[in-house]
């Protein structure tokens, strides 16, 4: 595990964007795993700027989202909507080469389809990860781990933060499992802000435990953890 501690969130964001840009230049047919949430938005903004300047070419790359909510495809809270707004075409990906779980079909069948699609693509070359304050990665939440793509029920507080109305609760999501993440050739995680400091400590120093799902990724042979000083606890 390679830990990089930057002075501020902007520097950390630029570092992650640089990792993705370099990886795409080395392997134009890169297979990416991509997240949603507040943390990756600045990374997608910088990637869009690099693409506009001709510094990033993802036209031959493929992308798989880490997760999706079980909502109608056209619902504004879906991660499909998020990716259309913040990433995909904006960063130069071909939408026909972007896959995301379908929250409108039988979820168990969709989990199997998604695992198969990643396998057919040759697996994931580079997965960009965020980190939840409780240590979750993708939607692998604290508790017994799931190796493959699976369905998880999300907390009411998370449904509130995503703006999902009561009619769609309890809110569920399809998410890649930890085995798929560990099978990726490279992982790069971005964590910024004091709220992530406890999870970062669990990742870097605590025991490997399902209570902190992030800690189960520690054994990955090529794992870059990019932090700002606040997320690092200000003690480095």
Candidates 3.30.70.20, 2.70.70.10, 3.30.479.10, 3.40.50.1360; CATH matching 2-228:
3.40.50.1360
Average model confidence (pLDDT) across the chain: 96
> What is the reported pLDDT for 165?
84
Nearest one of 46, 79, 77, 38 to 176, comparing CA atoms: 79
> Rounded to an integer, what distance in angstroms lies between the CA atom of residue 80 and that of residue 52?
22
pLDDT value at residue 138: 97
**More confident call, 157 vs 212:** 212
Read off the pLDDT of each residue in 118-126 and give the average, rounded to a whole number: 98
Bridge partner list, 189:
129, 225
In the chain, which residue ranges form alpha helices assigned H by DSSP? Answer: 9-26, 41-52, 79-86, 107-120, 156-161, 178-182, 197-205
Please report the pLDDT score of residue 234 as a whole number: 65
The residue among 86 and 234 whose pLDDT is bigger is 86
Give the domain ranges of the chain: 2-228
Q: What are phi and psi of 187, to 5 degrees?
A: -120, 140
In the three-class reduction of DSSP (H, G, I as helix; E, B as strand; rest coil), residue 193 is classed as coil
Count of C-beta atoms within a 10 Å radius of residue 83: 24
Looking at residue 208, what is its pLDDT?
A: 96
Reported as type and span, the H/E element at residue 4 is: strand 2-6
Q: Regarding beta strands 98-99 and 186-191, do their DSSP bridges make them parallel or antiparallel, or are they unpaired?
A: unpaired
In which band, very low, low, confident or very high, does the pLDDT at 117 lie, cut at 50, 70 and 90?
very high
Which pLDDT tens digit goes with each residue over 17-57?
999 999 999 999 999 999 999 999 999 999 999 999 999 99
For 183-216, what is each residue's pLDDT tens digit? 999 999 999 999 999 999 999 999 999 999 999 9
Alpha carbon distance 135, 132 (integer Å): 5
In this structure, are residues 1 and 93 in contact, taking their beta carbons and an 8 Å threshold? no
User: Is residue 158 very low, low, confident or very high in pLDDT (cuts 50, 70, 90)?
Assistant: confident
- pLDDT value at residue 107: 97
Q: How far apart are CA 83 and CA 78, in angstroms?
A: 9
The DSSP element (H or E) to which 191 belongs, if any, is: strand 186-191
**Segment (H or E) for 227:** strand 223-228
Q: What is the model's pLDDT at position 236?
A: 44
């Amino acid at each position: 595990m390679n830990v990089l501690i930057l002075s501020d969130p902007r520097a950390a964001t630029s570092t992650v964007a640089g990792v993705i840009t370099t990886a795409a230049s080395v392997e134009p047919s890169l297979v990416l795993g991509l997240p949603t949430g507040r943390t990756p938005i600045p990374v997608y903004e910088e990637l869009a700027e690099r693409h506009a300047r001709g510094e990033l070419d993802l036209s031959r790359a493929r992308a798989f989202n880490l997760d999706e909510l079980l909502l109608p495809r056209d619902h504004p809270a879906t991660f499909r909507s998020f990716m259309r707004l913040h990433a995909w075409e904006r960063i130069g990906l071909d939408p026909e080469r972007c896959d995301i779980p379908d929250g409108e079909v039988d979820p168990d069948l969709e989990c199997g389809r998604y695992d198969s699609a990643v396998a057919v693509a040759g697996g994931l070359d580079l997965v960009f990860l965020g980190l939840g304050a409780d240590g979750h990665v993708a939607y692998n939440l604290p508790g017994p781990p799931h190796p493959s793509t699976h369905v998880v029920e999300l907390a009411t507080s998370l449904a509130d933060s995503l703006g999902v109305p009561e009619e769609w609760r309890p809110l569920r999501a399809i998410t890649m499992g930890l085995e798929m993440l560990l099978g990726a050739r490279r992982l790069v995680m971005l964590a910024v802000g004091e709220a992530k400091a406890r999870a970062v400590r669990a990742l870097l120093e605590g025991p490997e435990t399902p209570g902190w799902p992030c800690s189960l990724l520690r054994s990955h042979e090529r794992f870059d953890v990019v932090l700002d000083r606040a997320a690092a606890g200000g003690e480095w």
